Structure 1
Amino acid sequence: MKKLLFAFTTILILSISSETFAQYDYNWAAGFRVGEPLGFNLRKYFQNGDKAFDINVGTYGFIYNRKRSYNGGEYRTSGLMIQGIYLWQHEVFRRDWAHVYYGGGLQINNRNHYFFSRNVTPPQEIRSKKIALGPTGTAGFELKLPNQPLAFFLDAGLYLEALPSPFFINPQVSGGLRLNIIK
Structure 2
Amino acid sequence: MKKSFFLGIIAMLLISLDSTAQYNNNIAVGLKIGEPIGLNIRKYFQYGDKTFDINIGSYGLLYGQHRKYRDGPYHLKNSNGKYTSSQPAGMMFQGIYSWHRPVGKGDAIKVYYGFGGQVNYRTYVSKDNLIGTNQNGEKHVSMGPTGNAGIEYNLPGNDVGIFLDAGGYVEIVPDLLFMHPQLSAGVRVNIVRGK
TM-score (norm 2): 0.77
Name the structure where strand makes up a greater proportion of residues: 1
Counterpart of 1:173 in structure 2 is 183
Calculate the aligned-residue CA RMSD, in Å.
Answer: 1.9
Q: Distance in 2 between matches of 1:146 and 1:42?
A: 21
Q: Which runs of 5+ in 2 are unaligned?
A: 1-21, 76-87
State percent identity of aligned pairs: 46
Partner AA of 1:55 in structure 2: I
The aligned runs of 1:102-121 (5 Å cut-off) are 102-117=113-128
**Could you say if the C-alpha distance between residues 100 and 128 of structure 1 is closer, same or farther in structure 2, counting changes exceeding 3 Å?**
same
The one-letter amino acid of 1:44's match is K
The question of whether the paired residues in 1 share the 8 Å contact of 2:117 and 2:143 is answered with yes
Distance 1:140 1:174 in 2: 9
Pick closer, same or farther for the CA change 1:140–1:118 going to 2, 3 Å.
Answer: closer
1:164 equivalent among 170, 174, 185: 174
Deviation at 1:24, TM superposition (A): 4.4
1:34-88, Cα deviation, whole Å (9 max, x unpaired)? 0111100000000010000000001101122111100101113301100000000
Q: Answer yes or no: is the 8 Å Cα contact 2:23–2:45 preserved in 1.
A: no
1:135-173 deviation line (CA, Å, top 9, x unaligned):
000000000000110000000001000000010000000
What corresponds to 1:140 in structure 2?
A: 150
State the 4+ residue runs in structure 1 displaced beyond 6 angstroms. Answer: none
What runs of 5+ residues in structure 1 fail to find an aligned partner? 1-22
Q: C-alpha distance in 1, partners of 2:159/2:45?
A: 17
Compute the TM-score of the two structures, normalised by the length of structure 1.
Answer: 0.82
Distance of 1:119 and 1:91 partners within structure 2: 52
Find the counterpart in structure 2 of residue 20 from structure 1. Answer: none
Q: Tell me the residue number matched to 1:80.
A: 91
Structure 2 counterpart of 1:65: 64
Aligned partners of 1:131 and 1:92: how far apart in 2? 39
